[in-house]
Structure 1
């Protein structure tokens, strides 16, 4: 039998700020049977953001490997791609730009996913059930730091994104760097290839899935932090209006809470990338 064709990939993207390009990336194989979503992270010392370069370059390396069709485990694909970018550009752990990575690969009978960092993959079942593949290791680490509680408390009191807010974020970033890509800490694509093997993974029967979503945290915050949507509602909105409309709606909501009093967050508006894949257009998921 010929392979099951991939449905059209629908996407939405938007930079968090108008004065700098987005560092999020969405890339797919030519056949559309696999795609990757990345959220680039620059180092604090960068005069201009390199996270977008890293996300773009790593994403292409991942897609090339997926398109080759070796059938390798997604964690090994990611490990090999991080090895390649680290070697080719002589990247140094702790001084390299980085990226979260989410990979989805469609097979004839299964759907595979791998997530490294806070860019989740969510599947909506044909019966309406929601399964989210998330990597919460960094979020759990951040929540233990007193700076996180302080910046949220200050924002709720109306401080806005002032100098002290920036200082708190720098302190949080410095604390995080002590735990990057090490056991007991958190893992992200950077200059340590082992991180690829630490991605969280899932495999679902393709016949049971109606829709697939993959998003950077600039979009997933609309569900996890703002409560603007449930995942089912977000998928429904993607079906009805398209993922770009959803991305724009989240951005408008953040603009209406410009000083972050309602939704405490580390910056006014983050870069956003969203993928929606409809595997069963005629099926209406309840829930």
Structure 2
């Protein structure tokens, strides 16, 4: 059996667009993004409907990319979404058996597995485009750009996928970029081992607190240039028995 902890927090002043779905042998973390011409259906709505569709499919043992492609296709068809002009979402999936852990990461919501070594499963294509390509949205779901779950099921097969042996892996962390920025951008956590230590000694909420404290120390966004002062935060911790 696995023990699963979660911590979630919206950016101040609006509902969160992050979502976390927990199954007996899988966790899905999504970070919704509202489209450029936002309809009533925003990024949080899309993350919710896509996550719900996907978790229903995860009860099978199919390939994660195939299951995600099916979920995207069903949601796109059901709600008549248009590629390039629809809400979107990052996706992180971890699913485990007694022998293996399958992971899938699409856009900037990483997964970190802790065992004899630390394995970071991350999709860095969006980060690599920032500061190089403008506007970033013109490079969404196209060759040479970055890929995210939207109204094009092809994105599912462009995800970063890894299968790890379960033996020796004690903990898996999944996070949206409102948390991973503490490691990747702000560097207030020197590494993911530090994040795990904080979770172990102070609890998951302390990680969110530390990121918020850092952001409040830079309200003009000069030390850490970013689109907004605060982002939604979602963190999931899977404690595996071995």
Residues 142-157 of structure 1: pairs in structure 2 closer than 5 A: 142-145=130-133
Aligned to 1:121: 111
Find the aligned partners of 2:39 and 2:142 in 1 and give their Cα distance: 27
| Runs of 4+ displaced beyond 3 Å | none
- SS of match in other structure, 2:199: helix
Aligned to 1:85: 75
Find the aligned partners of 1:228 and 1:210 in 2 and give their Cα distance: 24
Aligned to 1:66: 58
Distance change (3 Å), C-alpha of 1:72 and 1:90: same
Structure 1 or 2, whichever has the larger Rg, is: 1
Find the aligned partners of 1:93 and 1:47 in 2 and give their Cα distance: 14
Find the aligned partners of 1:215 and 1:102 in 2 and give their Cα distance: 8
Match of 2:143 among 180, 183, 188: 183
Find the aligned partners of 2:151 and 2:58 in 1 and give their Cα distance: 21
Match of 2:156 among 183, 193, 196: 196
Does 2:126 correspond to 1:132? no
Deviation at 1:44, TM superposition (A): 2.5
Find the aligned partners of 1:44 and 1:185 in 2 and give their Cα distance: 18
Structure 1 stretches lacking a partner, 5+ long? 146-171, 282-287
How big is each residue's C-alpha offset from its partner over 1:212-267, in whole Å with a ceiling of 9 and x where there is no partner?
01000010000011111110010111122221221122112211221122222221
Greater alpha carbon shift after TM alignment, 183-192 vs 46-55: 46-55
Find the aligned partners of 2:45 and 2:124 in 1 and give their Cα distance: 25
Contact 2:109 2:180 survives alignment (8 Å): yes
RMSD between aligned residues? 1.5
Does 2:102 correspond to 1:112? yes
Structure 2 stretches lacking a partner, 5+ long? none
Aligned to 2:30: 38
Greater alpha carbon shift after TM alignment, 96-105 vs 208-217: 208-217
- SS of match in other structure, 1:250: helix
- SS of match in other structure, 2:196: helix
TM-score, structure 1 length as denominator? 0.80
Deviation at 1:108, TM superposition (A): 0.8
Deviation at 1:43, TM superposition (A): 1.3
Find the aligned partners of 1:10 and 1:239 in 2 and give their Cα distance: 11
How many residues in Structure 1 have an aligned counterpart in Structure 2? Answer: 241
Deviation at 1:195, TM superposition (A): 0.6
Contact 1:10 1:242 survives alignment (8 Å): no
Match of 2:167 among 207, 214, 219: 207
As a proportion of its length, which structure holds more helix? 1
TM-score, structure 2 length as denominator? 0.95
Contact 1:235 1:276 survives alignment (8 Å): no
Greater alpha carbon shift after TM alignment, 41-50 vs 129-138: 41-50
